[in-house]
């Protein structure tokens, strides 16, 4: 044997219990962990495909859609983004990306890799697009696809979407929306808003472990896929195969890939909890906890990056790091003293803000109060204000 077994694997797996109040993943409730204790089934056993069907129905509720093609990509949020891009776009198709943070950048990167013609309209960190601005850009670029991000977790911005589907369809474009960091925490209506493709992650408001990307395609989006002249470049992410495996196309399920069985159990449990609570309650819980956070921050003299509360996603709040404060010393204080995660900025907001997540299981008044208490304590430390 040339390579010997590593000594590091002799020690038992040791994981500290942290409270994850960053932009995700959030902690999973015990019920969701217990679901993963259930024994494995085959990926085409009838007991398992029944669970997949239940997951689909739960997702239709969360997405607020009656679309037939509702399923999961067997990969995390970015896999949902890539599935959207690679199914909707053919080489030289125009995609218009509404870019006001890192997710727009990534979608543009993926679209370029697919040889699409990428057009971008850009806004600064924390800003959102008006319907007038978007319609003007759609008129100018005549895109095949418009890509928007509902909750831009790098900046905390909440992009208004109502009416956007109508604008896109009027000009022959499809509307694709990233809701990874927002779905379940703020209203979203796939059908009523005319969204053609939407995807999310399991590890944010749904509070299951990261592992899959729930995704839905409208009939209009599926018609576009079926009319492609070139094959979808990814077999693993080909929505026609995925839709068949998930029982969405009315034909018997064929073996596509081996689904992540335990992760589907966990998502089923998370969806069951979301259905028990109800979307209205989820949305108002997120709104009121975010409001509690805003008020507490104001008392501490801290300013949100986004002035207008209507433009903030309740799931991720970005807080301007005051002058003279080293942001990383604060996040370290949270982690080292309390095992609580809050995070720094990302992409355009790096170094400028803290990001506090209030998502799903972790979105409670007690957790808001704890974050505020630690923040107050941290900012009072002389070492943290040493630059003043």
Looking only at residues 160 through 179 of this chain, which bind its own copies when binding is defined by CB under 8 A? none
Q: Give me the least distance between CB of 184 and its own copies, in Å please.
A: 12
- Tokens of residue 234, six digits: 């990814």
Report the alpha-carbon distance of residue 49 to residue 46 in Å, rounded: 5
> Among 149, 248, 261, 316, which residue interacts with its own copies (rule: CB under 8 A)?
261
Query: Given the complex with its own copies, which of 272 and 311 has the nearer CB atom?
Result: 272
> Among 184, 209, 345, 360, which residue interacts with its own copies (rule: CB under 8 A)?
209
> Among 94, 131, 240, 275, which residue interacts with its own copies (rule: CB under 8 A)?
275
Site for its own copies in 89-118 (CB under 8 A): 106, 109-110, 112-114
Query: Given the complex with its own copies, which of 245 and 294 has the nearer CB atom?
Result: 245
Does 351 engage in binding with its own copies (CB under 8 A)?
A: no
> Among 184, 194, 259, 314, which residue interacts with its own copies (rule: CB under 8 A)?
259
Does 126 engage in binding with its own copies (CB under 8 A)?
A: no
Which of these segments, 125-133, 136-144, 266-274, 323-331, binds its own copies (CB under 8 A)?
A: 266-274
Report the alpha-carbon distance of residue 370 to residue 366 in Å, rounded: 6
Residue 272 CA to its chain's centroid (Å):
19
Q: Give me the least distance between CB of 324 and its own copies, in Å please.
A: 27
Interface size with its own copies, residues (CB under 8 A): 96
Report the alpha-carbon distance of residue 142 to residue 158 in Å, rounded: 25
> Among 121, 164, 215, 232, which residue interacts with its own copies (rule: CB under 8 A)?
232
Q: Are the CB atoms for 23 and 40 separated by under 8 Å?
A: no
How is residue 45 annotated by DSSP? -
Rg (CA), the chain: 21
> Among 92, 250, 280, 382, which residue interacts with its own copies (rule: CB under 8 A)?
280
Which of these segments, 79-87, 93-101, 116-124, 305-313, binds its own copies (CB under 8 A)?
A: 79-87
Burial environment of residue 17 by CB neighbours within 10 A (0 to 12, 13 to 18, 19 or more): exposed
- Alpha helices, H only, the chain: 30-35, 46-63, 77-88, 102-113, 131-141, 164-170, 219-226, 239-245, 261-277, 279-299, 327-338, 365-379
> Among 136, 192, 223, 328, which residue interacts with its own copies (rule: CB under 8 A)?
192
Report the alpha-carbon distance of residue 220 to residue 144 in Å, rounded: 12
> Among 220, 234, 344, 385, which residue interacts with its own copies (rule: CB under 8 A)?
234
CA quadruple 72, 77, 79, 81: dihedral, nearest 10: 100
> Among 49, 58, 144, 158, which residue interacts with its own copies (rule: CB under 8 A)?
58
């Amino acid at each position: 044997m040339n390579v010997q077994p590593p000594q590091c694997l002799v020690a038992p797996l040791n994981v500290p219990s942290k409270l994850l109040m960053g932009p995700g993943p959030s902690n999973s409730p015990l019920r969701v962990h217990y679901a993963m204790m259930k024994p494995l089934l085959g990926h085409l056993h009838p007991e398992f495909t029944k669970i997949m069907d239940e997951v689909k129905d739960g997702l239709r509720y969360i997405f607020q859609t009656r679309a037939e093609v509702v399923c999961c990509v067997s990969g995390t949020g970015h896999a949902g983004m890539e599935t959207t891009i690679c199914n909707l776009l053919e080489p030289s198709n125009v995609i218009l990306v509404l870019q006001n943070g890192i997710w727009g950048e990534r979608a543009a990167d993926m679209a370029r890799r697919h040889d699409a013609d990428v057009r971008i309209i850009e806004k600064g960190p924390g800003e959102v697009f008006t319907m007038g601005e978007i319609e003007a850009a759609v008129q100018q670029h005549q895109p095949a696809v418009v890509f928007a991000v509902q909750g831009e977790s790098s900046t905390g911005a909440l992009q208004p979407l109502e009416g956007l589907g109508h604008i896109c369809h009027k000009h022959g474009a499809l509307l694709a929306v990233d809701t990874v960091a927002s779905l379940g925490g703020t209203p979203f209506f796939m059908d009523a808003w005319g969204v053609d493709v939407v995807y999310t992650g399991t590890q944010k408001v749904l509070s299951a472990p990261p592992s899959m990307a729930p995704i839905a395609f409208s009939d209009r989006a599926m018609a576009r896929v079926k009319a492609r002249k070139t094959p979808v470049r990814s077999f693993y992410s080909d929505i026609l195969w995925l839709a068949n495996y998930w029982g969405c196309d009315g034909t018997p399920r064929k073996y596509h890939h081996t689904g992540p069985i335990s992760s589907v159990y966990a998502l089923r449990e998370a969806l069951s909890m979301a259905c028990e609570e109800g979307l209205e309650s989820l949305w108002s819980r997120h709104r009121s906890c975010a409001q509690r956070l805003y008020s507490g921050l104001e008392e501490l003299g801290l300013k949100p990056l986004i002035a207008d509360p209507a433009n903030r996603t309740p799931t991720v709040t970005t807080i301007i790091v005051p002058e003279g404060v080293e942001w990383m010393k604060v996040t370290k204080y949270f982690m080292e003293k309390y095992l609580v995660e809050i995070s720094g900025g990302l992409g355009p907001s790096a170094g400028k803000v803290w990001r506090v997540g209030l998502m799903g299981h972790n979105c409670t008044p007690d957790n808001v109060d704890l974050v505020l208490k630690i923040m107050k304590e941290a900012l009072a430390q002389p070492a943290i204000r040493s630059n003043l």
